[in-house]
Amino acid sequence: MRYIALRWFAGVRTICAVLAVTAAAGGSDSAAAATQPHYGGTLVVELHVPTLVLDPTKWKTGAPESAASEQIASAVFERLVTLDRFGRFQPGLATDWSHDEGWRRWQFSLRAGVQFSDGSALTAAEVAAALQELFAERLSEKGVVTAASGTRVILQFSSPMPDLLEQLASGRNFIFRREADGTLLGTGPFFVAEFAPAAGSVATARYKLLPNEKCWAGRPFVDALEVHLGVPALRQLFDLELGKADVVELSADLVRRAQQENLRVWASAPVLLYGLQVSGEAGGAPRGSTGKADLREALSLALDRATMASVLLQRQAEPAASFLPQWLSGYAFVFGAENNVERAKEIGKKLVGGSGAGGAMLQPLKLRVDAGGDLAKLIGERVAINARQAGISVQLQSRAAARENLSSASANSPRAGEAPALRLIAWRYSSLSQRAELDAITASLQLEAENETSTADAEQVYARERRLLTERGLIPLVVMPEYIGLGAGVRDWMAERWGEWHLADVWLDGKKSVAEGAQP
Amino acid sequence: MMAVAAVCIRNLLFSPRMVLANFRYFLCVWMLLSGCVACVAQTPEEAVRGLARRIAEMRELPEKVSLEWVNISSLPEAESIVLRAGFVKELERRVVTAEEPAIAALQVSVRETPTNFLLVARMVMNGGEQVRMAELPRVGFLPVMATGRGLRLAKQLLWQQTETILDTGEFSGTPGSSPNIFLLRPDALAIYREADERFIEIQELPFPGYKYVSRDLRGELHQGKDGAIAVALPGLNCVARGPAEEGGRWTMPCAAGNGVKSNASPVTTSSMTGAKRGSDVDPQQVATLRSNCDANGWRLLSAGSDWTQPDRLLLVNTEAKREESVASLDFAGPLRRLTGGEDGKSALAVVFNLTSGSYEVYRITMVCGR
C-alpha cells in the first residue's frame, strides 16, 4: 500500500513538473512555419472512369482504367513498404525485412498496433492471406506465405525475387482483409462510407470516404473525400474553374487550356504508353517470323512519332522507342526511333510484292484500336497515314466492329476467327519493378513467354526488352504523363512522379468545403 | 561478383559442416553462373570498377578509346567526378583513354531509376553497339551528417539527417554552461554540443513506450526559466533536465498529457501549446530577431505556401509590411519549423530539403553590411 502511494505521489509530481515547465515556457518564441497544414474540409475528386474497382486482385495490369481505381484504393489500403522519391524504401505496414542469399525467402516484421478501419487489429495471418492472393502465381508450389509468430510474415518464392520491394511498393500490392461478403477492409487513412450509383437525374456515381481515425500514420487532414465518377473531361475542367472540384484529371488536349487559364496543373512522369502490336499469321500480315519482323521494321521506320507527340498530342507526350520509359528503366535512351520513310518503302515493297522471305502480304492490314477514347482513335488514324506513306495500307477497325465482324462471319468463312494484324494498345505502368512490367506486358499481350529471367539486373532486363521489341512485334509510339488539375486551395499535393497520389497528406487552405457550397 | 566468389570460397574451405559447405558452394556457383550482379551488395566504387573491367573484357576492344562521361541524373556532380575517376583508373589498366576522338568512342551516361543510379556504357565497335550497365543504389548517395560551419550569407547549416526533425532549439542546460543543440525526433530527444567545429552527440533521450502518431509534424521544445526543457508531443509531455555537474547525464521524466495539438481547422493557423500566440498575431510572423547593427526589431517571415515548394525567409522590420522586406534567404525546401534563439540574435530553422530528402537545421543570423 505504501509502495503504491509513493508511486502515485511520484507520478503526480512528474505531471506537475511537466505542466509547470510547460506553463513557464515561452521565453523564446517558437512557431510552426507558415506552411503548417490545416485540418478540415471536403476534398472533391472528379474522375473520368464510370466505375471504380476497389479490389486489387481484380485489376487488369496495364489497363489505363485500373489506374483510377488504384489511386483511390491507395487511400483505403496500405502497403508493406513504400518507396520515397529519393530511392529509399520506407516502412509501411512492415517495419523491417530481410531475405536469404537467393532472394527466394523474404521475411517481414509487421508494425505493431495497426488496426483496420473497423477497429480490429491487423494480424500476420491476414497479411499472409492478402499476399497469397496477390502473388499466387509467383509463390512456390509448397505454398507459401506463412504467418510466423503473429508479427512476422514469410514469403517463399519458387524463383528469385530481388525486386520484391519494388513490387510491394507499387501496383496492386495492397494489404487487405476479405470479408465473408467479399468486400475488402483496409488499414489506410480513409474508408468507404457511402456509395451512390449514377441513377435518374444524378449523372455521376459518387463515393464518399471518411477519415480512418485509427490509422497508425495519423488522421488525414481533410474531413471527407468525395470521388465523382463518369465526369467528362471538359466538365471536369469547368468544375475546377468554378471551384466545384479540387482534383480533376486533365486530358492531353485540355492541358494547355488549363495552363492558359492559370489553373494549377501537376504532371507525373510519363506513365501511359501507346504502342502497336504486330501480329503475324493474321489479318493480312505476311506469314512467318521473318515476314513479321519485316513488317515491324517497315512500320517502325514509317511512323513519325515526333509529329504524333508534338502536333497530335500538342507536346503533351514524348516519342517512345522502348516499352519501359526512361524514368523507370534508366536505359530507354539507348533505343532509337528512326523515322525513315524511304527505307520503310523498300521493305514495304518486298512485303507487298511477295519477294520477302515471309511471302506476300495481303492488303489492307487491319488495325484494331483496343484502347478507348478519341485520343486512341486519333493515334490509330495517324498510324494508318504514316503506313500509307510507306506503301502499306492499313485499315482502322474499332473494337466493337472487330467483335461484330467475328460474330457475323460463319464458321466456314475464311474470315472466321481472323484476328487483326495490328493492335493499338494503351499501357499504364503500375509497377516500380522493370521485370514485373515486362512480365505483365508479355502476359497481357499473350506474347510468347520467355524462359527467363529471374534477376532484376539492368543488363538482363535491357536484353529482354530488346528481344520484346525486335522479336515479339511491339512498336512503342508515344508516352504521356498523367495531368492533374488542382484547385487553388489544394495544398501539399505530394504525388509521386510515377503517378501515385497521397490524398491523406493533402489539406485545404482556408476554403470551405466545395461540396457544401455547390451542387456538383 | 568477385566478392561473392571470395566469400563462397572461404565458406567452402573453412566451414566445419561439409553438407552446409556443399550447399553454399552450389549456391555460389549458381549465383556466379547466373550473373546475378544485382544480388551482390557492392559499394559504388566497386560497381564502377566492375563496369570498367567488363568493358575492358569486351572482345576486339581497341587499345585506345576516347571517353565521354555525362551525368544526366540527380547524382551530385562531385560524386559523378569521383566515380569517373575510379572508372578511368580501372579502365586504364587495360586500355588507354583519351579525351580526343580515338579509334573507338566510349560513352558513359549516368541516369537514374526510382531506386538506382544507372551507368550506361555504350561503345560502337565493328558496326555494332555494345552496351554495359552498372547499378548504384540511390540510397548510397544520400547525405550523411554534415558538420559544416561555412557561413553562407546569414544561413549556417548546423545539422543534416534523413530522420524526421520535429523541432530544434539551442539552449543552455544549466545557467552559465555553453549551449547545446536539441533535436526533437518522433522517437527521442537528441542533444549535441559543438566542439572543434563538429557536433558531438552528448546523449539521446528516448520516449519509452510512446508511439508518435501524427501526419503533420507536431512536437515542440521550450525552455523554462529554471533551464529545464519542456518537450510537447501529441499525447505526451516531458521535461528534460540537465546534469548538476559537467559531464553528468540528462534526465527526462514523461507523462501522458494533451501535449501539442494540431491545427484544428482551416481557419486558425496554429494553436501551439506554450507558444505565446494571440489571435491578432500575423500568421506569417515566425520569429523575431535583434541585431548588433541597429536598435530596430526585425521579423523573419516565411514565404512558403505548402510542403511541396522551396521556401524563402524574408527579413522585415517589425514596423514594416511584408512587402518591405530588406533581405531574403532561399532554402531548398519548405521551412518546417522556426525557433527564436535564447539571445534573440539568431533563430534556428528546420528545413526539409526537397532535393536530397534530408532534414536540415540552419542557424539564421543577421549580418551587418555586405
Measured distance CA(A395)–CA(A420) in Å, rounded: 10
Q: Do A40 and B264 touch (CB under 8 A)?
A: yes
Distance from CA of B198 to the nearest CA of A (A): 25
pLDDT score, position B92: 87
Beta strands B64-71 and B96-98: pairing type? parallel
Per CB-CB distance under 8 Å, the chain B contacts of A511 are 266
- Chain A residues whose CB is inside 8 A of the B336 CB are 32-33, 35
CB contact, 8 Å: A331 with chain B? yes
List of domains in chain A: 78-187 (3.40.190.10), 271-481 (3.10.105.10)
Residues in chain B with CB shorter than 8 Å from the CB of A326 are: 111
Torsion of Cα atoms, A501 then A504 then A508 then A509, to 10°:
-100
Instruction: List the one residue out of A333, A316, A336 whose CA is nearest residue A271.
Output: A316
The answer, yes or no, to whether residue A490 has pLDDT greater than 60, is yes
- Residue A354 in contact with partner chain B when CB distance is under 8 A: no
Strands B220-223 and B229-240: antiparallel
Contact A492 B308 (CB under 8 A): yes
Where, residue-wise, is CATH 3.40.50 in chain B?
A: 2-7+37-141
- Cβ distance of A27 and B162 shorter than 8 Å: no
> Is the CB of residue B3 less than 8 Å away from at least one CB of chain A?
no
Q: Which of residues 330-369 of B touch A (CB under 8 A)?
A: 334-342, 356-357
Q: What gap in Å lies between CA A461 and CA A473, rounded to an integer?
A: 17
Report yes or no: B308 and A493 within 8 Å, Cβ to Cβ. yes
ipTM score above 0.85: no
Which of B33, B107, B111 is best to mutate for the A interface (most A CBs within 10 A)?
B111
pLDDT score recorded for residue A141: 57
Written as tens digits, the pLDDT of chain B (370 aa) is 333 333 333 333 333 344 444 444 444 444 434 444 444 457 888 999 999 999 988 877 787 888 899 999 988 888 899 999 999 999 888 777 766 665 678 999 999 999 999 999 998 877 788 899 999 998 877 654 333 233 333 688 888 999 999 999 888 756 666 788 899 999 999 999 887 777 888 899 999 889 888 887 888 898 887 888 999 999 899 999 888 777 788 899 998 877 665 543 322 222 222 233 223 333 444 677 776 656 667 777 777 678 888 888 887 777 666 666 677 788 889 888 888 877 777 888 999 999 889 999 988 887 654 4
C-beta separation of B352 from B160 below 8 A: no
State whether B112 and A330 contact (CB < 8 Å): yes
Residue A65 φ then ψ, to 5°: -65, -25
Which of chain A's residues have a Cβ under 8 Å away from the Cβ of B337? Answer: 30, 32-33
Looking at the complex, does the CB of residue B220 fall below 8 Å from at least one CB of chain A?
Answer: yes
pLDDT at res. B302: 79
Rounded Cα–Cα distance for residues A17 and A10 (Å): 10
Res A269: pLDDT: 95
Pick from A174-183, A271-280, A468-477, B94-103: least confident: B94-103
- Gap between the Cα atoms of A380 and A370, Å rounded: 10
Residue A28 has its nearest CB partner, among B216, B223, B283, at: B223
Chain B residues within 8 A of A27 when measuring between CB atoms: 222-225, 342
Chain A contact present for B222, CB below 8 A? yes
In B, residues 49-108, which contact A (CB 8 Å cutoff)? none
Residue with cell 502490336: A277
Considering only residues B292 and A217, tell me which one the structure prediction assigns the higher pLDDT. Answer: A217
When mean pLDDT is compared across A268-272, A306-310, B170-174, B258-262, the lowest value belongs to B258-262
Res A118: pLDDT? 94
- Which grid coordinates belong to A53? 474497382
Residues of chain B neighbouring A103 (CB-CB closer than 8 A): 39
A254-268, A353-367, A416-430: which has the minimum mean pLDDT? A353-367
Answer whether A94's CB lies under 8 Å from A102's CB.
no
Of the two residues A97 and B98, the one the predictor is more confident about is A97
Q: Do B286 and A34 touch (CB under 8 A)?
A: yes
B225 vs A contacts (CB less than 8 Å): 24, 27
Residues of chain A positioned with their CB less than 8 A from the CB of B223: 25, 27-28
Question: Which chain B residues contact residue A9 at CB under 8 A?
Answer: none
d(CA B69, CA B76): 14
Q: How far is CA A36 from its chain centroid?
A: 30
B235 touches chain A (CB under 8 A): no
Mean pLDDT score of chain A, rounded to an integer?
83
Residue whose C-alpha cell is 556504357: B121
Angstrom distance (rounded) from CA A155 to CA A341: 52
Do A208 and A224 contact (CB within 8 A), yes or no?
yes
Rounded mean pLDDT, A395-409: 64
pLDDT value of position A81: 96
Question: In terms of Cα–Cα distance, which of A346, A345, A279, A341 is closest to A304?
Answer: A341
Distance (Å) from the alpha carbon of B251 to chain A's nearest alpha carbon: 12
pLDDT over threshold 50, residue A23: no
The share of chain A scoring above pLDDT 90, in percent, equals 54
Q: Cβ(A518)–Cβ(A244) under 8 Å?
A: yes
- The answer to whether A211 and A146 have CB atoms below 8 angstroms apart is no
pLDDT band (50, 70, 90) for residue A413: very low
Measured CA to CA, the distance from residue A320 to residue B140 in angstroms comes to: 30
Q: The pTM is what?
A: 0.75
Q: How far is CA B72 from CA B75, B77, B79, B81, in A?
A: 8, 10, 13, 13
Contact of B277 with chain A, judged by CB distance below 8 Å, is answered with yes
For residue A201, which phi and psi values (nearest 5 degrees)?
-75, -20
Across the interface, whether the CB atoms of A37 and B338 are under 8 A apart is answered no
Transcribe A449-489 into DSSP letters: PPS------HHHHHHHHHHHHHHS-EEEEEEEEEEEEE-TT
The nearest CA of chain B is from the CA of A213 a distance in Å of 11
User: Cβ distance A240 to A261 under 8 Å?
Assistant: no
CA distance A360 to chain B (A): 30
Q: Are B107 and B68 in contact (CB under 8 A)?
A: yes
Highest CATH level, class, for B2-7+37-141: alpha beta
Taking the CB of residue B66, how many other CB atoms lie within 10 A of it?
A: 16
Chain A CB contacts of B283 under 8 Å are: 34
Chain segment A158-208, per-residue pLDDT in tens: 888 999 999 999 999 999 999 999 899 999 999 999 999 887 766 789 999
What is the chain B residue with the closest CA to A453? B34
Nearest alpha-carbon partner for A16 in B296, B246, B223, B257: B257
